Amino acid sequence: MLKHKNILLGVCGSIAAYKSAVLVRLLVKAGANVKVILTNDAANFITPLTLATLSKNPVYTQYFEAETGVWSNHVELGLWADYFLVAPASANTIGKMANGLCDNLLTAAYLSAKCPVLFAPAMDLDMWQHESTQENISRLQQFGNIMIAPGTGELASGLHGQGRMAEPEEIVAFLATEISKNLPLLGKKALVTAGPTYEAIDPVRFVGNHSSGKMGFAIAERLQELGATVTLIAGPTALTTTKAINRIDVLSAEDMLHACTANFADSAITVMSAAVADYTPVEVAQQKIKKKEEHFSIELKKTTDILASLGNVKLENQVLVGFALETADEDNYAKDKLQRKNLDLIVLNSLNDKGAGFKVDTNKISIFNKNLEKITFETKSKTEVAKDICNEILKLVKTS
């Protein structure tokens, strides 16, 4: 849920600020991009160096750093964030946020933020129970801000009661759950194929292709980020996936056919980005073939067209996406494939385009929809291309 999310963390003056080091570490470990705003009082409890080291980003403390001449743009920080998390949120800062006061960088960034704001109160029992604190919290919630409720336990004063900031693990889990509520593909299953297939000639050799699987893996990760439950069927590749993605490793076109057939019916979205072999040897030698003859021939037969097979049984509420990698007359081949195989979208790659194709980290694509309308994109990283493809898929899912 947190991967690639931009999290702006505000740390206030509270003994609980020491927990922000663990919180930053957990957020980064979950894949988030983290920037920290530290108030002057918070810097008495934890150093900017600690949080800068853990977040791998500079820590912001002032509007203007006199020694360096650097101005911290609160508007830019507020717009950068996907989520603004204030933890610990002291009674003082909660009061400022509730009443629109912005005498420091944290509260100024809060007033500039366009994203969801979450706050985790941390204070002593009497401060927590005071009517003014409760009224300020109520106002913040009325504004749409989300409170991560404090726990009950031993407090810094020695008292026992409510006011302890939620533990970092609890805050990360709460944030992940909150993110998941707004994901457009939550509750939907997606099936993605990626990588090459290897068609055995003998126990040592195979017929294959140069696909790395990078495009398919990027699509699987993006669909998972959007909330889908993703099954990734991967041909032979060294790429790794997160535990959140259900990965099925296969070797041959036949293996991929069986895996796709077993998982397709339950999938609302299927993206067939694998480079499946069109032909496979008729016979596979049981022993390694020795180099004896001057000329050597292998008889090949067609593999089952997996994409066409799925297109034949596709239901109206299923979205099926195919890929076409072409070297000539690209548009016509892609449109023909789209129609013949009953696809909703087809993604066209041309090996004539610089930065597109196998084994590179970039791609240049065009997408045709069922109306044969063409959308062309510039050369981008495969991560960004995956976002473009998934954006087109989202348009179909909303109307399916």
Tens of pLDDT, residue by residue over 50-68, are 999 999 999 998 876 656 5
Query: Does residue 1 lie in a domain region?
Result: no
Instruction: Please tell me the predicted confidence (pLDDT) of residue 359.
Output: 64
Same domain, 141 and 231: no
Domain of residue 164: give its range: 6-181
Q: Are residues 147 and 167 in the same domain?
A: yes
Question: Does residue 328 share a domain with residue 215?
Answer: yes
pLDDT of residue 67: 63
State whether 348 and 270 are in the same domain.
yes
Instruction: Indicate the residue among 141, 158, 181 that finishes a domain.
Output: 181
Residue 310 lies in a domain: yes
pLDDT of 112-134, one tens digit each?
999 999 999 999 888 999 999 99
The yes-or-no verdict on residue 358 having pLDDT over 70 is no
| Number of domains composing the chain | 2
Across the chain, what does the average pLDDT equal? 91
Q: The pTM is what?
A: 0.74
Domain-terminating residue out of 181, 199, 214: 181
| Domain identity same for 239 and 385 | yes
What are the residue numbers of the active site? Answer: 209
Residues 209, 309, single domain; the answer is: yes
Residue 385 lies inside a defined structural domain of this protein: yes
80 located within any domain: yes
Q: Are residues 207 and 355 in the same domain?
A: yes
Residue 201's pLDDT is what? 95
Mean pLDDT of the region 392-400: 81
* Domain end residue (candidates: 155, 181, 207): 181
254 and 170, same domain (yes or no): no
Mean pLDDT in residue range 25-53? 95
Across residues 257-267, what is the average pLDDT?
97
In a domain, 377, yes or no: yes
For residue 283, tell me if it sits in a domain.
yes
60: in domain: yes
* 300 lies in some domain: yes
CATH, residue 219: 3.40.50.10300
pLDDT at 315: 95
CATH code at position 73: 3.40.50.1950
Same domain, 331 and 389: yes
126 and 243 share a domain? no
Do both 130 and 165 map to the same domain?
yes
**Three-class DSSP labels, the chain:** CCCCCEEEEEECCCHHHHHHHHHHHHHHHCCCEEEEEECCCHHHCCCHHHHHHHHCCCEECCCEECCCCEECCHHHHHHHCCEEEEEEECHHHHHHHHHCCCCCHHHHHHHHCCCCEEEEECCCHHHHHCHHHHHHHHHHHHCCCEECCCEEEECCCCCEEEEECCCHHHHHHHHHHHHHHCCCCCCCEEEEEECECCEECCCCCEECCCCCCHHHHHHHHHHHHCCCEEEEEECCCCCCCCCCCEEEECCCHHHHHHHHHHHHCCCCEEEECCECCCEEECCCCCCCCCCCCCCCCCCEEECCCHHHHHHHHCCCCCEEEEEEEECCCHHHHHHHHHHHCCCCEEEEEECCCCCCCCCCCEECEEEEECCCCEEECCCEEHHHHHHHHHHHHHHHHHHC
**Same domain assignment for residues 283 and 386:** yes
